[in-house]
Amino acid sequence: MTKYEDLPSFDLYVDQLIQIVQEELKPFFLLSNSQKLTTSMVNNYVKSNVMDKPIKKKYNKEQLSTLILITSLKSVFSIDEIDQFIKQIINNEDFQNSYNKFCISLETSIKNLFLNNEYKVLQEKNSIDIIVNAVVSKLYIQLKLELLKGDFINEEFR
């Protein structure tokens, strides 16, 4: 994945923005049930304030990286959860640094799950362990977001 400082530093029109995101996240669009990123989706993210509005119909590097985050997370999290994640976790740190950490972590996770040390595709993983890890990871993030919002959580889980 392209790190923040290596993303285009010039402003992009929405079709260019979508093309870059789809190229960056090509593995996310390989599945038959995956939804292609569209102009309408981008407009909806802007309308719902998940990403900033374009300036004179052009998007900057931070908006591009935000769209990459949204697109990579939306298969697991709701748009509201992604919005909370970006606003409460990413924005509490330096955005560029947080984005780069996300890219490195995503690359590492993909390599660890799909490839062995020689970068050959692994034949079999324990699907139950992977499913359980996904569920527990999602639960952890949902609880963390609830705590950051200050919402009530059952006292026995604190």
**CA dist., res. 156 & res. 21, Å (int):** 42
**CA dist., res. 122 & res. 31, Å (int):** 18
To 5 degrees, how large is the angle CA 86–CA 92–CA 97?
80
pLDDT by residue (tens digit) across 30-87? 766 677 899 999 999 999 999 999 999 999 999 999 999 999 998 888 999 899 888 8
pTM of the predicted model over 0.85 = no
Instruction: Tell me what pLDDT residue 51 has.
Output: 94
Top-confidence residue, 113 or 25:
25
Instruction: Tell me what pLDDT residue 137 has.
Output: 87
